[in-house]
Chains A and B, each alone.
Chain A
């Protein structure tokens, strides 16, 4: 018995150390509506445990939440699986939830049929505008047959972002994913939220799928958002999925492995298991022998720019090099003056390099990387460096082309000297005469 206990202790400690090393806790708070859901959605939640997260389960109706202890956040992420729970606002105010996300923590929110005002507010705080709560996405042409009760409100998704980070596999097809719930749109004044899953061309939202449409549906076709993801500027993530029903064990069984894999991967992505990038070791130096300091360049220098880009490997728990061929760095002063591709050097640090020719224009420039890819944490990086003119002693001393100029100035010097000699000592006799004449 001793050995397993000590092993457990070691495991606990090491996980604590690892968590401390990453600067945040490893605990995910999952909020269910009631005791029943704990059972019906167990597989979805258990997928978090499989990726090494500690899961703390609470019920929306009974318990109160404390996000902070001793002034620090207890949780790393919050998963809200309680779309219809009322009274949530009193236990976990929207304001504190938003601050939790802004402080760099993750949020997953699921909506469902008859969602509460709270859910709608949480969704809109991350830029998702939910359809009316009585409405459901309906698709008469391709409903999901094995669960359909004839109302055609259990539908297949029409499209999704092909990303192994978001959905675990690039080959997952949209039609593998089953959805039942309200549609949504995105607020246009949020510039970071992305739709990652949307409806097919034939789906629309209605409150009664058996009656013909009498007015234009609020959400329809490919514009209807089924799932959305947001990578915040504080390196946290927030995501939305509109169908709590198809996250259940039952739905997983019926809809198939691919459905389950895509959605559990989406959850794993939300809690930061995949697609997390970080940058290290921004180094820039002048290749030319300009004697520049490392943080100042001269016009027409050539800069060697390098940066390490690493990706969090959730499976192994290590940072590994991120490999891509579409990253670029800009050299900006008001406008980009140079835009260069970053080339992966192939080493284990994930070092990317670029050679930047400094333009012939003085000013205060900045290296600028803006790398936004779906499913990856964005890389936004700025580093200010001044570009100075040539020092007065950095110009060429003697220019061959100017030799006529040199010759003329020296001949002038000699000429004046000779003329002086001639005037002073040349013809004394006349000089005297001249003086007399004066």
Chain B
């Protein structure tokens, strides 16, 4: 009877700290630690399985396909890496993107994910499984999400205890905020980098807890992997120093911390410099300055302690005064020097946006234009984190209640992730693990507490054996059996709701490849719009191999990945001026656009138009960004000209003159009048307006070459100059 109870409970809190008395039961097959290990392994295995399989919706519903935009570039690079080898990839100069500037891919890429996929591919082939590289890439993120769950287990275990670790793994496995970037096919840096980050955090906590060089060394290695994977390593290299500072100021300095941080900073910086894209940025840019400053401060502090150990208080006071004076004057002169030589303010726009959330919208339209760089709305917190939003504070409470070096780290991590996630919706991804782990601690501690009081009600003598030293609180809770019961039931309901929500969110919101669109038909069946691929395949089949395609930068990676044609700009937005030029071509009258197109040797122009089927993320809706970005370079472009007289943005007959004259408008609505069903004109289902003058649009320098079935992709040919010289 007693063993039954234990087993029943262990599903909820499987790793409850064992009381030695239970071990004496000789009737069971395994001893208690063995059983726990088995159960824990089993549960973690199941969690891995769940986290892998919940991400397969997209493969089942659509097909094994690479999603969205950036993954297409990663996929293309992986094919180069697998097909042509590491040297070729390292030296790869891509002359087929950013025409005519070209892009040194090998030096401007975080190669971690490509190497990861290539490694898995080679291993599988070595074993004899002849899988397609595409399938490897598609499944990379789900596989790594299982690793993330395990890392979350390890980190939470290190910070709190085993039970919380398992709950953390379970919550982490299905947290929608992380699923959004790691479904099958979402072959993006983040899918691998979050794993690397959590694992690095785990090793870091471990090395702080142990103070061992070995663990610190491993931390730097996983940091190297993180740097290789994602530009978000900046978060890591700033979070750890901040944690060290917090420890320092809260008086928790220890030699373990000293060893861990110094090893991490020195080795980690050296290793991160090996990634070509980072290189000397690791020591020259201001984003890494904090880590360096902390390194100095920590060593000063250590020197102070050392001096203190052999001097009297008077000498020591003088010494400290001199030390502080020296340090401050040194820092001050370095800062002055940096500003004088102009090396100091080298912060990238995205980082500035973190410190001042309004920076990008004021100064850098190209950053502000990206949807994942928008500030987060409160609704998406609930959508992406669900109950963990509410459980996180509970977790924080428990962490503060029983402060250790380990959960101090979780507190720091959680706090900073919350701040940054408010600035950019993209950072939700970094917050999701923190929220999972903190709320896991919250749930685990609450349940532990509730279970104990329930057990006390159930079986008094068992409790007295179990809890050798009941604290005052627990003693009090013995009288609150019904409350504890409600707590347990409530937690179960909450967790159940969480699982439901996670599955629903994954299935409905995060499993669309976004290159194949789907909609629910009238009687519930799914309708697929495969226009993107039709357009890109048309390019691949029908245009010369060296044709240059101009489109808004969103589609660059897909055109080069699926269409295999040269593009003018793509999603690697490294050259703002070039993008502004394309924006100018799109928002200018036809003759101006034609000159730009000829200058850039453009053969085809591709636009995305959703007015026929009601696909809202099309080029007309993105159009104002083309205006803003080109206005940031070319001052003759004025956003007001594209607006109605009231300052609104519409496409009906009150639309701005510059808008209706622009190439983008003409290309989107060319022949749109043919679609008219009512006499007033054709109805645009995205803007919900009738476009009256659509039938009068004529093109002089461009001709329609391809329009996909649902008009989403429209491709225009740039006419050759007139044979007889007419302009």
Question: How many A-B contacts are there with CB distance less than 8 Å?
Answer: 73
Selected contact of B93 from candidates A189, A190, A389, CB within 8 Å = A389
- Contact yes or no, A232 B725, CB < 8 A: yes
- Contact yes or no, A127 B726, CB < 8 A: yes
Residues of B within 8 A of A (CB-CB), count: 21
In the complex, which residues of chain B have a beta carbon less than 8 angstroms from the beta carbon of A387? 102
Is the C-beta of B104 less than 8 angstroms from some C-beta in chain A? yes
Partner-binding segment picked from A53-61, A157-165, A360-368: A360-368
Selected contact of B724 from candidates A192, A362, A389, A392, CB within 8 Å = A192
Contacts of B81-128 to chain A: CB distance below 8 A: 90-91, 93, 95, 99-102, 104, 107
**Are A388 and B727 also in contact (CB < 8 A) when A362-B104, A363-B100, A364-B102 are?**
no
- Contact yes or no, B724 A238, CB < 8 A: yes
Is the C-beta of A111 less than 8 angstroms from some C-beta in chain B? no
**Are A391 and B724 also in contact (CB < 8 A) when A362-B102, A363-B101 are?**
no
User: In whole angstroms, how far apart are the Cα atoms of A125 and B107 in the complex?
Assistant: 53
- Contact yes or no, A193 B93, CB < 8 A: no
In the complex, which residues of chain B have a beta carbon less than 8 angstroms from the beta carbon of A366? 100, 601
- Contact yes or no, A126 B100, CB < 8 A: no
- Contact yes or no, B100 A190, CB < 8 A: no
**Are A391 and B100 also in contact (CB < 8 A) when A193-B725, A234-B723 are?**
no
Nearest chain-A residue to B97 (Cβ)? A364
- Contact yes or no, A191 B727, CB < 8 A: yes
Contacts of A160-196 to chain B: CB distance below 8 A: 189-193
Residues of A within 8 A of B (CB-CB), count: 32
- Contact yes or no, B725 A191, CB < 8 A: yes
User: In whole angstroms, how far apart are the Cα atoms of A213 and B260 in the complex?
Assistant: 101
User: In whole angstroms, how far apart are the Cα atoms of A230 and B599 in the complex?
Assistant: 24
**Are A334 and B724 also in contact (CB < 8 A) when A364-B102, A386-B95, A389-B104 are?**
no
- Contact yes or no, A101 B726, CB < 8 A: no
Selected contact of B102 from candidates A101, A232, A236, A386, CB within 8 Å = A386
- Contact yes or no, B91 A230, CB < 8 A: no
Is the C-beta of B379 less than 8 angstroms from some C-beta in chain A? no
- Contact yes or no, B100 A125, CB < 8 A: no
- Contact yes or no, B725 A190, CB < 8 A: yes
User: In whole angstroms, how far apart are the Cα atoms of A265 and B629 in the complex?
Assistant: 56
In the complex, which residues of chain B have a beta carbon less than 8 angstroms from the beta carbon of A193? 724-725
- Contact yes or no, B724 A190, CB < 8 A: yes
**Are A102 and B724 also in contact (CB < 8 A) when A384-B546, A388-B93, A391-B91 are?**
yes
User: In whole angstroms, how far apart are the Cα atoms of A113 and B721 in the complex?
Assistant: 34
Contacts of A333-377 to chain B: CB distance below 8 A: 333-334, 362-366
Q: Which of B107, B599, B724, B725 has the most C-beta atoms of chain A within 10 angstroms of its own C-beta?
A: B724
- Contact yes or no, B726 A190, CB < 8 A: yes
- Contact yes or no, A127 B725, CB < 8 A: yes
Is the C-beta of A87 less than 8 angstroms from some C-beta in chain B? no
User: In whole angstroms, how far apart are the Cα atoms of A230 and B727 in the complex?
Assistant: 14
In the complex, which residues of chain A have a beta carbon less than 8 angstroms from the beta carbon of B721? 233
Nearest chain-A residue to B107 (Cβ)? A389
- Contact yes or no, A364 B101, CB < 8 A: yes
Q: Which 9 A-B pairs have the closest CB atoms?
A: A192-B725, A386-B95, A388-B93, A364-B100, A102-B723, A391-B91, A234-B723, A189-B727, A190-B725
Complex A-B: 24 CB contacts under 8 Å: A101-B723, A127-B725, A127-B726, A190-B725, A190-B727, A192-B725, A193-B725, A230-B724, A232-B724, A232-B725, A296-B95, A334-B599, A362-B102, A363-B102, A364-B95, A364-B99, A364-B100, A364-B101, A364-B102, A384-B546, A386-B93, A386-B95, A389-B104, A392-B90
B→A interface (CB under 8 Å): 90-91, 93, 95, 99-102, 104, 107, 546, 599, 601, 720-727
Given A127-B726, A362-B101, A386-B95; 8 other pairs, CB 8 A cutoff: A101-B723, A190-B725, A191-B727, A192-B725, A233-B724, A233-B725, A238-B724, A389-B104
